[in-house]
């Protein structure tokens, strides 16, 4: 599960986690959330010392406006994983992402889930971040990794 397109460093990181073992990915990308998330993202930006990013949070596309950039980001990420030698399929998930994640884990017979995300201090403190919530839902180990910046 990712929030934004994978960087080259992210691809290298996730494709080498298991050494030479051949792996495949089912990538779920969730576009930016609704306006209620803007405040939490701004607080995270301030906590990271990224004041300019905090100010720009309101400018990011939300809801249906975020769909097209998410689809482009997903295709970019899938292509990068395939070029690194992994099998990769995926989809943009807008509603009930944890339910979709559970279905994908069950259908694919996944061994583990990787949540690749930016730090979200407020959600992490209250265990409301994707990885914490997924651990209670999917029935396989959940590995939380921090995504690299562009």
**3-class secondary structure, 57:** helix
Contact 113, 101 (CB under 8 A): yes
Distance CA 93, CA 101 (A): 9
Predicted model pTM = 0.77
- List for the chain the helix, strand, coil content (%; round to 5): 50, 15, 35
Our separate counts of H helices and E strands in the chain read: 7, 4
- For residue 124, CA distances in Å to 32, 39, 133 come to 18, 15, 10
Determine the pLDDT at residue 99.
93
List the pLDDT tens digit at each of the 150 positions of the chain: 998 899 999 999 999 998 888 889 999 998 765 444 655 565 555 556 665 664 555 556 556 666 888 899 999 999 999 999 999 999 999 888 889 999 999 999 999 999 988 766 656 665 557 788 889 899 999 998 888 765
Strands in 2-81 per DSSP E: 24-29
């Amino acid at each position: 599960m990712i929030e934004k397109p994978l960087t080259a460093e992210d691809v290298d990181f996730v494709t080498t986690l298991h050494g030479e073992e051949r792996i495949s990915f089912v990538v779920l990308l969730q576009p930016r959330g609704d306006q209620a998330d803007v405040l939490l993202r701004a607080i995270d930006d301030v906590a990271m010392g990224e004041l300019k990013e905090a100010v720009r949070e309101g400018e990011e596309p939300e809801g249906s406006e975020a769909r097209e950039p998410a689809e482009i980001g997903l295709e970019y990420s899938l292509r990068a994983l395939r070029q690194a030698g992994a099998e990769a399929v995926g989809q943009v998930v807008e509603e009930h992402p944890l339910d979709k994640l559970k279905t994908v884990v069950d259908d694919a017979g996944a061994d583990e889930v990787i949540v690749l995300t930016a730090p979200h201090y407020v959600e992490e403190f209250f265990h409301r971040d994707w990885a914490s919530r997924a651990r209670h839902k999917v029935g396989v180990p959940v590995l939380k990794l921090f995504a690299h910046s562009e």
